[in-house]
Amino acid sequence: MELNLILGVSVIGLLFAGYLIRNVMKRDTGSERMQEISNAIKAGAEAFLRRQNRTIIYLALALACVIYILYAFVRTPQTTDPAAPSQLALWTTISFVLGAACSVAAGYMGMWVAIRSNIRTAAGALKDMNSALQPALRGGAVSGFFVVAMSLLGVGGLFAVVQSVGVTSDPKSIPLLIVGYGFGASFVALFAQLGGGIYTKAADVGADLVGKVEAGIPEDDPRNPAVIADLVGDNVGDCAGRGADLFESTAAENIGAMILAAGLYRANESVFHAQNLTLLGVLLFPLVARAFGIIASIIGIMSVKTNDKEDPMRALSRGYYVTAVLAMVGFFVASRWLLGPDYYFNFFLCGMIGVLTSIAFVLITIYYTDYRYRPVLSIAKASQTGPATNIITGVAVGMESTGYPVLVIAAAIVGAYYLGEHSGLQNAGLFGTAVATMGMLASAAYILAMDTFGPITDNAGGIIEMSQQPQNIRERTDRLDSVGNTTKALTKGYAVGSAALAAFLLFSAYLDEVKIYMPSFSGSINLNKPEVFVGAMFGAVLVFLFSSLAIRAVGRAAYSIINNVREQFKNNPGIMKGTSKPDYGQCVDIATKAALKEMVAPGLLVVLLPIAVGLAFRWLFNATGRPPFGASGAEVVGGLLMVGTIVGILVALFLNNGGGAWDNAKKYIETGAYGGKKSDTHKASVVGDTVGDPFKDTAGPSLHVLVKLLSTITLVLAPLFI
């Protein structure tokens, strides 16, 4: 029953995505000039994604072999194994490959639709606001539903298959056999986000520095040879990257929550029995809750309509509230059904904590990145004394912005744990935090739709600008574009918040898993052991090194683009006069090559460091067995994971919010404050904006993925460190 519901709703989600595609595709595609531009973007984006996917697939297949070999030949089989060692190796590898494949597919589909929605949004803008808003949101929603439904289908399907082929007799062990799915998804997400993030910001920084600053031409001017690369970047960075990011969030959270649900059942078997609650019901509760979230999001998306007078942001918010309220109702139903009338209520409240947490994160993000409030205004003010004070203030704002989110997360974790612990069930505190995470991710499909809305409207604006449409049409897309910027910022806040909450769930699952394989494990990650402390330091430093590599990659790639643009301007003076067309393809090509090259080093660092640390300390432990090597590899990696997560989230907040604040400080000055455009104050603010670009669109979002990848990688490899 539960499984049928889950699989059924996943299919409905996919069908709905198909319906949205048809709905978008049959819309008007505008003039020939517009199509020409759109086709150039399409070609660039598809070429990049194809090449990026090829690289990722090779890397994933190589890693799949490594995982199989490690499991089958390096690992010491334990009597506590949840299945026969060969089966364990096989299913871990299969689920990894499947997770990777689904993640690639979800990312590709999201972008496929996005690069077809942009032209339709632009064409709609020629008519009225509603005709522009709907294809943008529905195009974005394709990505949202594809991601969430595919992740649910993958996890649910794997569960069904493993159960039916009889790999293990105990359903509680199934989540341990399919943890690879989350890892595969994260692995792809990391490279997708990194590669896309480097591409988009290299093109953006390159286009801005030569175009806007040196040549003095406006943004999206057709004379700028890097302008198409810039528009391509919006798709590959924001659509494909964020799609993969949220795909792995939901997949990892699903599996982690199931592991904790298994633990909950174990601790309360007799109680559940007395209440006629089935093991399968408890185990699949996270997936059922997600399924209800999909239905809520479908209704939410369909309810969004607007007209030329309304602020489009209001229409989007209305849809979000519809989704959130329906998701709460669904949550209530799911928890009462599967956790029983005596125990469900505290867990329902945990889910509400999750919803409130997501709202709190959105509000905090607005406070720190919107120019109605003090932080951004202080940066704008500081720009009067030049770029240096602009940067100093922006860094201070970014660092400050870590404060409230930590308070919120702390309150959410402690609150949900408290509710779980006092639910009447035994050892239910951790499960309470897991349920809060589910609550937070319930509206993921809608949030992702709003996120992908951003690059679509951005592209639509670019198409309108480049095809030189009249002023009133431009104003329409400008308004949509600014809404898109807001939704992008909000979803980034949402993504980091859900990463933080999911992380606590995931490393609880990690410890549960280690305990199953090694019953002697105390379950404690004791920072007072020198080796665990060292692991913790490695976790923290990993975040800094990764950010450094990601930021530097953008700098290097942008440098190549800048040189190419300068050369084109020099060799062909007709470009600036508007008499001859620049060669857009060169910049697209350079950005593609550079992004693919630069994403490898930071990506491999994140994957290999935890493996190396875990195996090294496992070996040292086996060789000496006493301090400073008295902790198992699993405990050392636990320290790495937890402190890496804390630092990763803080640095991500710093980078995202600092970057967002710089961006909007510039926009505020462009409204006319402190001398407005072309003033020295504005120039100073452009420096901050450019610095913020790789912070907020490359390193920051990649850190969300890093945080979750650390969890999934350790979940998969935990048995090796013992």
Are 715 and 631 a contacting pair, CB within 8 Å? no
The residue written with tokens 């301090």 in the block is 627
Shortest separation between residue 508's beta carbon and a copy of itself, angstroms: 7
What is the rounded distance in angstroms from the CA atom of residue 584 to the CA atom of residue 226? 6
Residue 85 preceded by cis peptide, ω within 30: no
Shortest separation between residue 444's beta carbon and a copy of itself, angstroms: 24
- Give every CB contact of residue 308 below 8 A, 6+ residues apart in sequence: 128, 129, 130
Shortest separation between residue 35's beta carbon and a copy of itself, angstroms: 35
User: DSSP string spanning 339-388?
Assistant: H-TTTHHHHHHHHHHHHHHHHHHHHHHHHHHSTTSHHHHHHHHHGGG-HH
Shortest separation between residue 681's beta carbon and a copy of itself, angstroms: 14
User: Between residues 50 and 678, which has the closer beta carbon with respect to a copy of itself?
Assistant: 678
Are 146 and 14 a contacting pair, CB within 8 Å? yes
User: Between residues 99 and 387, which has the closer beta carbon with respect to a copy of itself?
Assistant: 387
Shortest separation between residue 215's beta carbon and a copy of itself, angstroms: 14
Shortest separation between residue 640's beta carbon and a copy of itself, angstroms: 11
Q: Which two tokens stand for residue 542?
A: 């990993």
Are 195 and 599 a contacting pair, CB within 8 Å? yes
Shortest separation between residue 359's beta carbon and a copy of itself, angstroms: 20
Shortest separation between residue 60's beta carbon and a copy of itself, angstroms: 27
Shortest separation between residue 541's beta carbon and a copy of itself, angstroms: 4
User: Between residues 270 and 623, which has the closer beta carbon with respect to a copy of itself?
Assistant: 623
What is the rounded distance in angstroms from the CA atom of residue 492 to the CA atom of residue 644? 19
Phi, psi of 373 (to 5 degrees): -115, 165
The residue written with tokens 């194809």 in the block is 50
Three-class DSSP category at 268: coil
User: Between residues 178 and 691, which has the closer beta carbon with respect to a copy of itself?
Assistant: 691
Are 720 and 618 a contacting pair, CB within 8 Å? yes
From the centroid of its chain, how far is CA 299? 23
User: Between residues 337 and 367, which has the closer beta carbon with respect to a copy of itself?
Assistant: 367
What is the rounded distance in angstroms from the CA atom of residue 569 to the CA atom of residue 269? 73
What is the rounded distance in angstroms from the CA atom of residue 409 to the CA atom of residue 501? 7
User: Between residues 490 and 536, which has the closer beta carbon with respect to a copy of itself?
Assistant: 536
Residues shown for the chain: 722
Largest CA distance in the chain: 83
